[in-house]
Amino acid sequence: MKKIINNKDNIVDDMLSGYIKANSDRVKFSSVSKRIILRKQPKNTNKTAILIGNGSGHEPIAMGWVGEGLLDANVVGDIFAAPSGDLIFEGIEVFKENSGTILLISNHAGDVMNGEMAIELAKEDNIDADLLLMYDDIASAPKGDEDQRRGGAGTTFIYKILGALSETGENKETLLSLGKSVRDQTRTLSIAVASGVSPISGEKIFQLDDDEVFIGMGVHGESGYGRQKISSSKKIIKFMMDKIFDDFKYKSGDVVIPFINGSGATTLMELLIVYNDVENYLAKYKIKCFKPLINEYITTQESAGFSISLLNSTEQMRKLWISQSSAPYFHL
């Protein structure tokens, strides 16, 4: 393993310190914890706050997406580990004077357990906070069991669209309703090409032969559709898009927002080839693409691979998607 670090026990805190110093005009630490990243310019208290708790090792999400028009806070856990319920509650407490707070939680066991605990603590303290559970990975549960699916890269649509709408002063209930609608219109499927290495253990996160890919693997090596021999981008994309189309009923004239996310060591060259094949596939069904997001945003160290996320969008969603944000690492 080759990692440019200091003491492995301080990886997360060293990283966050560097991030805050590099972006001090836009983000800051909370006064109660250096594991809570906030916007430098706080949101007006008559607006609903949007925050997320997630483990480290997947940067730039979610610390890089704290900013006006996106997230108000990120509560940061250890490498590949959810932040504690108590720490998430401390993040929620920052916004106790706001008209409401929404905690976004990706559907992974530890995240859900600790997020639910934080919401319970908030309600005991008479803080108006709700949890929005996010899921979109079609390989993790069959059609009809969508609420059992993992959260994947498609959760990005919820972050951005809710963050933008919250800036307009919409109430919490309206935001939650739109968040659920975005979630229900999103599908994601991933492919792993090579494993990253845990910066803590020095071990590969999963094993793949040099001539293999794994369709549907989760960010930590969770199961999906299975292994197959590597082939051309067109063949891989057809396989993946066929799976997505089997899961969601698209129709001619739909407008989708695509997100092609690299896993950490996938080149922009590859991601753009993938996007070209995705758009060509959609064009055959007369489905239009709107302002795609293409780059490495949700990573697992230097894992190689990518995911395809599609949001079957409304005009309101598209308008909010392209609205401006000050988040340091979100660039359309």
Catalytic positions, please?
58, 220
Asked if residues 163 and 325 have their Cβ atoms less than 8 Å apart, the reply is yes
Of the candidates 57, 120, 125, 119, the one whose C-alpha atom is nearest the C-alpha of residue 301 is: 57
Cα separation, 145 vs 239, whole angstroms = 22
From residue 312, give the alpha-carbon distance in Å to each of 125, 183, 230, 249: 38, 10, 29, 10
Cα separation, 227 vs 184, whole angstroms = 28
Cα separation, 168 vs 6, whole angstroms = 43
Asked if residues 110 and 82 have their Cβ atoms less than 8 Å apart, the reply is yes
Residue with tokens 């916004």: 95
Bridge partners (DSSP) listed for residue 205: none
Extract the tokens encoding 156: 């990005």
Residue with tokens 């069991």: 145
